[in-house]
């Protein structure tokens, strides 16, 4: 299978670069499934049903979340009703929505997407290591499902990498989100799991992690809050991770960063 994961979609610039380019990417990379982190898609804070539908119509099959999932209050009912929308699985019991879901891929293949949130420098959550065990025991890779993707939404690179190694051989792709900066460590672990510590963001990189520069710089200088953070509105860069797997085992045979548009050096896998 060929799957593309898109990093945190940041505001209008991020939505624009994804919506304009994803239909052609699905064709040129012959993609079977597309996952995107959408927790910053609504002006940098959360997701709305209307934005989710725009992304789905552009070719996104599943939208994951993170610590900003619930910033837009109206999204609660959508998380319960729309199975294409996920929030981190290790939120407390009773939280609206679902933290993983099983999707029907092409050629009868089943795709499992799991959304987790880290605990280092983040809000207190249930243990993401034990949480992922609960799911993977029910859906073994290469048997019950043909592709398993884990979105690790977290701050600490060490925590993301530890969790990637922890599920090595049990997932097709493990990729980090939240820090909005693409890392240079795309690789396939010994057990066959593709990994990248952070996919980066889809948004304007002439910014401070997607926000207009003035307010973040002012807060660092003065240690005082001024204006509200506002997403940068310049040309967006699309950032993500492409993985190809053996359809029999579900394990990765190829992984590559994807970058196009905006300010960052482009990278595009060739088939």
Active site residues: 68
The number of beta carbons lying within 10 Å of the beta carbon of residue 43 is: 17
Contact in structure between 156 and 133 (CB atoms under 8 Å): no
**Helices vs strands, H then E, count in the chain:** 6, 13
Token pair, residue 259, equals 């970058």
Q: Are strands 194-196 and 147-153 parallel, antiparallel or unpaired?
A: unpaired
The number of beta carbons lying within 10 Å of the beta carbon of residue 69 is: 26
165: exposed, middle or buried (Cβ count in 10 Å: 0-12, 13-18, 19+): middle
Task: List the one residue out of 203, 244, 220 whose CA is nearest residue 5.
Answer: 244
Whole-number Å distance between alpha carbons of 42 and 148 = 27
Token pair, residue 80, equals 């319960």
């Amino acid at each position: 299978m060929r799957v593309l994961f898109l990093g945190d979609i940041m505001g209008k610039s991020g939505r624009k670069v994804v919506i304009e380019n994803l239909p052609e990417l699905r064709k040129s990379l012959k993609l079977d499934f597309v996952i995107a982190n959408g927790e910053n898609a609504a002006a940098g804070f959360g997701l709305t049903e209307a934005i989710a539908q725009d992304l789905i119509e552009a070719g996104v099959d599943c939208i994951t979340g993170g610590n900003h999932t619930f910033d837009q209050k109206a999204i609660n009912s959508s998380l319960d009703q729309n199975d294409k929308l996920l929030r981190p699985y290790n939120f407390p019991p009773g939280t609206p929505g679902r933290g993983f879901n099983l999707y029907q891929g092409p050629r009868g293949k089943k795709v499992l997407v799991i959304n987790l949130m880290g605990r280092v420098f983040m809000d207190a959550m249930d243990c993401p290591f034990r949480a992922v065990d609960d799911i993977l025991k029910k859906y073994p890779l290469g048997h019950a499902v043909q592709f398993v993707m884990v979105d690790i939404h977290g701050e600490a690179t060490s925590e993301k990498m530890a969790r990637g190694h922890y599920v090595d051989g049990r997932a097709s792709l493990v990729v980090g989100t939240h820090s909005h900066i693409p890392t240079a460590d795309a690789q396939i672990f010994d057990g066959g799991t593709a990994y990248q510590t952070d996919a980066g963001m889809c948004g304007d990189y002439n910014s401070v992690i997607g926000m207009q520069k003035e307010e973040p710089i002012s807060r660092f200088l003065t240690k005082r809050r001024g204006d509200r953070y506002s997403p940068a509105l310049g040309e967006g860069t699309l950032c993500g991770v492409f993985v190809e797997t053996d359809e029999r085992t579900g394990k990765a045979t190829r992984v590559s960063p994807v970058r196009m548009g905006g300010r960052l050096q482009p990278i595009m896998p060739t088939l």
